[in-house]
């Protein structure tokens, strides 16, 4: 049965502008939309592209006036479009439940109800798996891991012994939680391993990307607070204490024993030195290198990181640096100041 | 039966200089070559090392004159040496074909002819696997993945549902394709997940290194163009549109919705911000941070990235910065300009 | 049976100060210590925190004078505390030995005594596994890998064909050793793969973190010297020759054919260009970019890396750069030098 624009608007509580009976086949983003599709636009730049887009209709912000095609106006077009796309696709098939005969579950593990454990997963002795957890194929849980309800571990995730995950945690494929921290003591020219006896504790609603590593504490826990979201290829070293509702973008690295308050954002490829505290609500720009404590609410950028307003001033002046040098030489000449022979006058 | 230099030269269409009957046992690079070996040199620096190398003979560029040992002169010594090394080693054993009894292939999957599926691999419902594909152990294909002919997935690669790979794609171990993009909406101090409903499309002849992550699009595809080569530990975020025949070196990160034309080179550890376009044939130097569109054919360097010629001028002047500051103070003194007390005169 | 402080001191050869009969329940770090625990302090900052810590006793450095609780004084409090923590925990259960019935071991592989091979591991043809090795679940060994005695491969590690690991090597989960190097030749606008025919050799007592990649050599070996420790998410490209007892911190990248002497330290997120030599005992600071050879014993920092003393001088001056520019303009004004109209006078 075909769907019309009015129905879509009802699903998301939006307002139709134009022909509410426009039939809609599918939901696709602007760059891929075809005739018969509904698409969406988040800002003015996208709305301009509407003129060249064959889509039959679009989800747009409340203030948008556009007459080239029928619209659904909503407060958050992206989220409304996501809802529409999901409903048009139909619900995903209900995940199977039960332990696959080719999974290895230790007899001392406790498995909640409606859990799905895929083939080639290994659940170690003493593990406790909450209700409705989904354990992908090739996942390995060391001994005594505890998973809250509704946890999803995608294929090939590894949890070392003793990891504790809260409810509704999602971990993407090939991420490793609880490996030994990088701790050695130099002794007679060799590096002697410091035993890594701690574990990892992850709060409710945390999501962790693919190929990320979170090391176990040396003696106590490495902690990730509830609601924090961590992207792919991130390194969180031993003993870190990360607050709630943080966002750590891809390829960020946080060295040992550092901590972050709540609502911290660290943009891509930034590095935080060891034993540093990042205050609550701080924002660390991309590719920054932080080696001092950051106060609550600060915005930092650069290597070494400084307040963003200072860093931008430095960066802007930096572009003029070769010119500044020429001016300096001009001034010295005008003043007949001696030019040291060791100095290279070419720039 | 021993091989002599003349035969090797025939294999690669090269010209022998010196004793063509020199017997050759094995092929080893300069640093490891032993008596009886053939080795190779690509440039003058390597050719100098020939004097101290026990190898019996060497593959060298066309213009090389060297009398210390017999030579094979060719246009591309590295590729000729690779051919020789492969032939001396003998062909690798033909890969086994068939589905290992300990692989889990969903009954609705379609498997091409002469496919090899190793133990502990999982092929989800609705997958289509082209002819002669090699699926390593521990590989996981989510539902409805499509693989062209001659695709190689090394052990423990994970493809989430709906990934489409062209012909002759190679993916190295522990790489994850199609995981959810890092998309959240702040709401009441929490991060609400934006559903990631898209997929990943990878063109023919793409090679992807180990432990690399390529996220699925939010609604449509993340795309990697034909012939593009991606190194280890690279992050390609959701919705990226990467052109053909690109080279992305290790630890590069490309943020969401960015795009690259054809024949782009991005050197190691560089970062590209979100919603950026890198023009065709552009070259991004190592450790660069790009946060503006890059025109076709441009060469960029630095954080933030500027045209390489400007960046080199900046970097060269930067070395002289402390000296410039001293000169400034000297000038101010000569001019009897006031020095503000707040300023720290030491460098 | 409860343990008292005197016994703990005997275990680690320490000196008791205060009540040697204090009963001890458990060992926890300062931030997590509870009543009845023993904790430890490494430096004055930690010792201050002792006043607010409910622990019953503490392991402290030799010189410490502190009267708030009984102490054990030792030369290396961290290592002594680790010993105590391990003994209080009791020994880990002896690892099981034997090949799990759901592991796939090729009949031509040679398995040493007391080896443990977990389920879903794959041991390829011609592999040789030393005594007491522990092969985690989901590990994949390509053909002809050689492991010395007492090697531990954590779950989902992948070794491509021909890797050679010395004695007591530890490799953490999802690390990939021996994947093809990133080698291509441009030809007619395409990238033609250079066959990667070499292998990887890893010395005794090397430890490698999680999600790290070490590529095979093009023709010969990529080498990691004995005693070297490598953190998570590190990239070591093809043909690298790494010396002994090095420390490479997380997210470091070393490009092709570079080498390092012995006792080198490379801090987090640094990059080393290709064909570079890092001299013995050199220290490369965090986030440095090295593209020239580094002499023995040098300490380098910055992008591009310079001797740390120079870099610190540059960084310090950099903070004053906007001010320097203002001063320059002031001087030009005082000297009535012309200001070019193209120049933007705002900072």
Average pLDDT score over residue span B125-142 = 98
Asked if A258 and A276 count as a contact pair (C-beta separation under 8 A), the reply is yes
d(CA A142, CA C181): 32
How confident is the model over A10-63, as pLDDT tens digits? 999 999 999 999 999 999 999 899 999 999 998 888 888 888 899 999 999 998
How confident is the model over C261-285, as pLDDT tens digits? 999 999 999 999 999 999 999 999 9
Collapsing DSSP to helix, strand or coil, B330 comes out as helix
Closest Cβ opposite residue C197 in set B82, B229, B318:
B82
> For chain B, give me the number of helices (H) and strands (E)?
5, 40
Phi-psi category of residue A49: left, alpha or beta, with phi > 0 → left and psi -120 to 50 → alpha: alpha
Helix (H) or strand (E) holding C332: helix C321-334
Return the percentage of chain A with pLDDT > 70, whole number.
97
pLDDT at B347: 38
Asked if A274 and A288 count as a contact pair (C-beta separation under 8 A), the reply is no
The set of residues, in sequence order, having a beta carbon less than 8 Å from that of C69 and lying 6+ positions away, is C18, C50, C55, C56, C57, C58
pLDDT at C339: 65
Average pLDDT score over residue span C36-42 = 94
Is the CB of B210 inside 8 Å of chain A's CB atoms?
Answer: no
- The answer to whether residue B270 scores a pLDDT higher than 80 is yes
pLDDT at C253: 98
Mean pLDDT of chain C: 94
Mean pLDDT of chain A: 94
pLDDT category, A1, cuts 50, 70, 90?
low
Is the CB of A303 inside 8 Å of chain C's CB atoms?
Answer: yes
Give chain C positions within 8 Å (CB) of B137.
104, 122, 140
How confident is the model over B14-49, as pLDDT tens digits? 999 999 999 999 999 998 999 999 999 988 888 888
Collapsing DSSP to helix, strand or coil, A326 comes out as helix
Give catalytic status of residue A238 as yes or no.
yes
pLDDT category, A143, cuts 50, 70, 90?
very high
List subunits contacting chain C, requiring 3 or more Cβ pairs under 8 Å.
Answer: A, B
pLDDT at C346: 42
Instruction: Select from B226, B287, B303 the residue whose CB has the most chain C CBs within 10 Å, as the one to mutate to test that interface.
Output: B287
Give the CA radius of gyration of chain B: 27
Choose, from C154, C238, C263, C277, the residue flagged as catalytic.
C238
Q: Exposure pattern of B78-96 as b/e (b: 16+ CB <10 Å)?
A: bbbbbbbbeebeeeeeeee
Closest Cβ opposite residue C322 in set A182, A192, A314:
A314
State the pTM of this model.
0.94
- Nearest Cα of chain A lies from the Cα of C193 at a distance, in angstroms, of 26
pLDDT category, C183, cuts 50, 70, 90?
very high
Strand ranges (DSSP E) for A87-220? Answer: 98-99, 104-105, 110-111, 116-117, 122-123, 128-129, 134-135, 140-141, 146-147, 152-153, 158-159, 164-165, 170-171, 176-177, 184-187, 190-193, 199-202, 207-208, 213-214
Nearest CA in chain C to A194: C79
Give chain C positions within 8 Å (CB) of B325.
317, 320, 324
- The answer to whether residue A343 scores a pLDDT higher than 80 is no
Tokens for B331, please give them. 């000038």
- The answer to whether residue C131 scores a pLDDT higher than 50 is yes
Phi-psi category of residue B161: left, alpha or beta, with phi > 0 → left and psi -120 to 50 → alpha: beta
Closest Cβ opposite residue A138 in set B138, B175, B323:
B138
Task: Return the minimum-mean-pLDDT range out of A311-315, C47-51, C315-319.
Answer: C47-51
pLDDT category, B1, cuts 50, 70, 90?
low
Answer whether the bond into residue A316 is a cis peptide, omega within 30°. Answer: no
Mean pLDDT of chain B: 94
């Amino acid at each position: 049965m075909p769907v019309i624009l009015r129905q879509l608007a009802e699903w998301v509580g939006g307002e139709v502008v134009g022909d509410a009976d426009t039939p809609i086949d599918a939901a696709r983003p602007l760059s891929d939309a075809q005739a018969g599709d509904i698409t969406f636009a988040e800002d003015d730049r996208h709305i301009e592209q509407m003129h060249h887009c064959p889509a039959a209709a679009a989800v747009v912000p409340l203030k948008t006036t556009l007459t080239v095609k029928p619209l659904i106006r909503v407060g958050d077009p992206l989220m409304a479009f996501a809802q529409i796309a999901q409903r048009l696709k139909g619900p995903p098939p209900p995940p199977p439940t039960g332990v696959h005969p080719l999974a290895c579950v230790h007899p001392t593990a406790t498995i909640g109800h409606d859990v799905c454990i895929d083939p080639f997963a290994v659940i170690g002795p003493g593990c406790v798996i909450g209700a409705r957890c989904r354990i992908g194929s090739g996942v390995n849980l060391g001994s005594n891991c505890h998973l809250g309800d509704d946890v999803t571990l995608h294929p090939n995730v590894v949890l070392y012994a003793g990891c504790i995950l809260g409810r509704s945690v999602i971990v993407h494929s090939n991420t490793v939680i609880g490996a030994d921290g990088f701790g050695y003591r130099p002794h007679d020219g060799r590096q002697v391993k410091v035993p890594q006896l701690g574990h990892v504790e992850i709060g409710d609603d945390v999501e962790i990307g693919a190929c990320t590593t979170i090391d176990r504490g040396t003696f106590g826990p490495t902690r990730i607070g509830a609601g924090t979201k961590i992207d792919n290829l991130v390194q969180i070293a031993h003993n870190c204490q990360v607050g709630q509702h943080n966002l750590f973008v891809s390829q960020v690295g946080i060295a040992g024993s550092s901590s972050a308050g709540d609502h911290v954002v660290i943009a891509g490829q930034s590095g935080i030195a060891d034993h540093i505290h990042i205050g609550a609500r701080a924002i660390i720009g991309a590719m920054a290198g932080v080696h001092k404590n950051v106060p609550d609410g600060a915005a930092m950028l650069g290597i070494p990181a400084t307040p963003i307003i200072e860093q931008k001033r430095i960066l802007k002046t930096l572009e003029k640096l070769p010119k500044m040098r020429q001016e300096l030489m001009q001034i010295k000449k005008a003043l007949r100041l001696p030019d040291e022979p060791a100095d290279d006058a070419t720039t």
